[in-house]
Structure 1
Amino acid sequence: MNIYAIPILRLLGDGKFHSSASIIEHFQCSRRTISKALESINALGIHLTKLRGKGYCWERPILWLNSDVVLRNLTSNINLRFFDLIILDSIDSTNDFLLKNLKIQQEKNTHIFVVAAELQTAGRGRLGRTWYSGLGDSLTFSLRWHFNHGISALSGLSLVIGIAIIRVLISFSIKDVSLKWPNDILFHRSKLAGILIELRGEVLGSSCAVIGVGINFNLSNKIKATIEQEVTDLFTITGEYIDRNVILGALLSELLDILIAFEKYGFVHFKKEWVSYHAFEGKRVYLTLPNGSVIEGVVDGINDTGELFLITAVGRNSYNAGDVSLRIK
């Protein structure tokens, strides 16, 4: 992406017309450079209004992420000094950013490192899938959390993160949201958000988790057409342009509370609540295993480590979240 693309969009964020000459003067660069940047903006799927004699206008600019606004929306009992929040214009993957900087972060284990991006160019989902989003149309962020327990004690972590997202959405009067095992958030069975957790550390010693979250806010038709499943976003659901800063602040607060409780009590503490949110509880489903085989059964809860129970023709069996994908029949 052209290095001037996002700076130009920030300039046009006032919703006013800016002539080519004024843009050139502002950035002290050539007309050709600005022309290339405008081509890059168009490639992002962003429409700018152009009028002869007036210049360019971004009639419906995004509300940019702002760390001060995010931190102001944390609950009042949280010490802001515990959070190191970085907001980037563009990054390949917020998870990768934190994973590459683990050594620096480990020197400050009392801090919660969070990185959010206006645009992810190589976002990742579960099982190596691509996470698609455009500039400012989603909330994509990652959080790094240090655990005193080893990796073996973190079973069910992704399910707990799903609970946190559901709680926050409900607190904003967004109803009919549910969970799909193991790591999707749905609205009427269309995907609204997803979770990717990557663990580092020892099996029995200390460990850390990089927790990636993506929530669709206002996806373009181009992005929706790229995704090979039914998706939705908060604008489609509510008809409102919800401030990502407010949601991120509320979500960080909820994640802090839920991660402290998870480390203390484990997943079993949240099992009943998770089942109450599960979209497919008690329903007959197909479960596709990594080897391509398909199991048919009725969803019958989860165990204390977050594995899914299915009642099949051969009995009641559990399946690990890392090995299966779920499709409703």
Structure 2
Amino acid sequence: MNDDSLQRILYLLADGQFHSGQELGEILGVSRTAVWKHLQKLEGLGVSLESIKGKGYRLCGGLDLLDSERIRSQLSSEARSLLAELDVHTIIDSTNNYTMQQTVNRENGYICLAEQQTAGKGRRGRQWVSPFGKNIYLSALWNFDGVASLEGLSLAVGVVIAETLEQLGIAGVQLKWPNDVLWRQRKLAGVLLEVTGDPAGLCQVVVGIGINASMPTSSAFTIDQPWVDLEAIQAELNIARHITRNDLIAALLTNLLPLLHNYADQQFATYRERWERLNVYAQQLVELHTAKSVFGGRMLGVDGSGALRLSTEEGETLFHGGEISLRARNDSAD
């Protein structure tokens, strides 16, 4: 089944209502046997499909599919002017991988979204669990003049994610240096930056963002740290209004695109106090694990470049991003 056929049958069934095989076949222009084969492939994606004789087929609970026009319609005028392209995929290996391949041909403000990633990437070579139609997998492309101008960018993106969630009524979001967005000590979202081009000249930055919106428990068994999704948070906070993925993406892009547009001039100093307000380990005893060493001390915050400030027996030490894992003292999560 090609990508177009997959999208068409998904959009037909997304309403959660029953549709007969004959109806689906007539709309798609295929036989009922072909419809059945298509539906078998949907089940292979982990989509919960119900079949009742005499009624037809339906997706249990429906699907909140990505809708580029709905997202565009909710953007601020500034964000809309900065958006070059909104590229929505059904299935992709990784939105970051795909966007990295587009750096020569795409302009600032290229946004890649996907319903599912087959090889989603997290920090430190980890897999980003990416079930179909449940979470947000987003990558944004922007050009910068040298990697020095990128200092603190991943932290600033974390601030934007947290503040966007706050704007939508999600209270209690916090940030863990350098890339994690937490809620009550559980991971809700993450940021992965990848850079290509000339480190001293024009370089292209891909900002990857993953947000757990409605993570099925059956998909999360490989996640090796405490996690949470927006669906569970809204239930715990008794928020009646359902935040759709399209609503969240539109709100996020409204804040993210201006950040990327202005970052070369503003730098992390603009976001430092806002990051400190959300620092989950502020003034706590922590451990930093590198490939070769473990450092312990008190988390003082971050400096103007986004480096972590750690108070140790030898005095204050700065740590920059990279293959570093931060955790609270006696906490196994990283």
Name the TM-score, length of structure 2 as normaliser: 0.90
Q: How many residues align structurally?
A: 323
Give the match's secondary structure for 1:162. Answer: helix
CA offset digits 1:156-177 (Å, max 9, x no partner): 1100100111111111111000
Structure 2 Cα separation of the partners of residues 61 and 5 of structure 1: 15
Say if 2:113 and 2:137, in contact at 8 Å, map to a contact too.
Answer: yes
- TM-fit CA distance, 1:194: 0.6
Q: Which residue of 2 aligns with 1:214?
A: 210
Using the aligned pairs only, state the percent identity.
35
- TM-fit CA distance, 1:202: 2.1
Say if 2:16 and 2:63, in contact at 8 Å, map to a contact too.
Answer: no
Q: Which residue of 2 aligns with 1:304?
A: 304
Point out 4+ residue stretches in structure 1 off by more than 6 angstroms: none
Candidates 228, 232, 239, aligned match of 2:228:
232
Q: Which residue of 2 aligns with 1:203?
A: 199
Structure 1 Cα separation of the partners of residues 62 and 16 of structure 2: 7
1:326 lines up with 2:326 in the alignment:
yes
1:133 lines up with 2:130 in the alignment:
yes
Consecutive unaligned residues in structure 2, runs of 5 or more:
236-240, 330-334
Q: Which residue of 2 aligns with 1:188?
A: 184
How has the CA–CA distance of structure 1 residues 82 and 217 changed in structure 2, closer, same or farther, with 3 Å as cutoff?
A: closer
Structure 2 Cα separation of the partners of residues 314 and 150 of structure 1: 33
Structure 1 Cα separation of the partners of residues 266 and 21 of structure 2: 59
Q: Which residue of 1 aligns with 2:238?
A: none
State which drifts further: 171-180 or 251-260.
Answer: 251-260
Structure 2 Cα separation of the partners of residues 225 and 272 of structure 1: 36
How has the CA–CA distance of structure 1 residues 99 and 238 changed in structure 2, closer, same or farther, with 3 Å as cutoff?
A: same
Q: Which residue of 2 aligns with 1:71?
A: 72
Once the two structures are superposed, the pairs formed by residues 263-278 of structure 1 within 5 Å of their partners are 263-278=264-279
Say if 1:45 and 1:222, in contact at 8 Å, map to a contact too.
Answer: no
Name the TM-score, length of structure 1 as normaliser: 0.91
Q: Which residue of 2 aligns with 1:177?
A: 173
Structure 2 Cα separation of the partners of residues 45 and 241 of structure 1: 23
Give the match's secondary structure for 2:48. Answer: coil
Consecutive unaligned residues in structure 1, runs of 5 or more:
none
How has the CA–CA distance of structure 1 residues 77 and 294 changed in structure 2, closer, same or farther, with 3 Å as cutoff?
A: closer
Once the two structures are superposed, the pairs formed by residues 163-174 of structure 1 within 5 Å of their partners are 163-174=159-170
CA offset digits 1:263-319 (Å, max 9, x no partner): 10211222122111110111111211123x322211111122211111223332111
Structure 2 Cα separation of the partners of residues 81 and 274 of structure 1: 24
Q: Which residue of 2 aligns with 1:315?
A: 315
Structure 2 Cα separation of the partners of residues 167 and 137 of structure 1: 22
1:151 lines up with 2:152 in the alignment:
no
The amino acid that maps onto 2:48 is H
Give the match's secondary structure for 1:102. Answer: coil
1:241 lines up with 2:242 in the alignment:
yes
Q: Which residue of 2 aligns with 1:162?
A: 158
- TM-fit CA distance, 1:16: 2.1
Say if 2:152 and 2:268, in contact at 8 Å, map to a contact too.
Answer: yes
Q: Which residue of 1 aligns with 2:332?
A: none
Say if 2:15 and 2:63, in contact at 8 Å, map to a contact too.
Answer: no
Give the match's secondary structure for 1:249. Answer: helix
CA offset digits 1:40-83 (Å, max 9, x no partner): 32233322222122121123112211111111111134444743
- TM-fit CA distance, 1:181: 0.5
State which drifts further: 17-26 or 42-51.
Answer: 17-26
- TM-fit CA distance, 1:32: 5.3
RMSD (Å) for aligned C-alpha atoms: 2.0
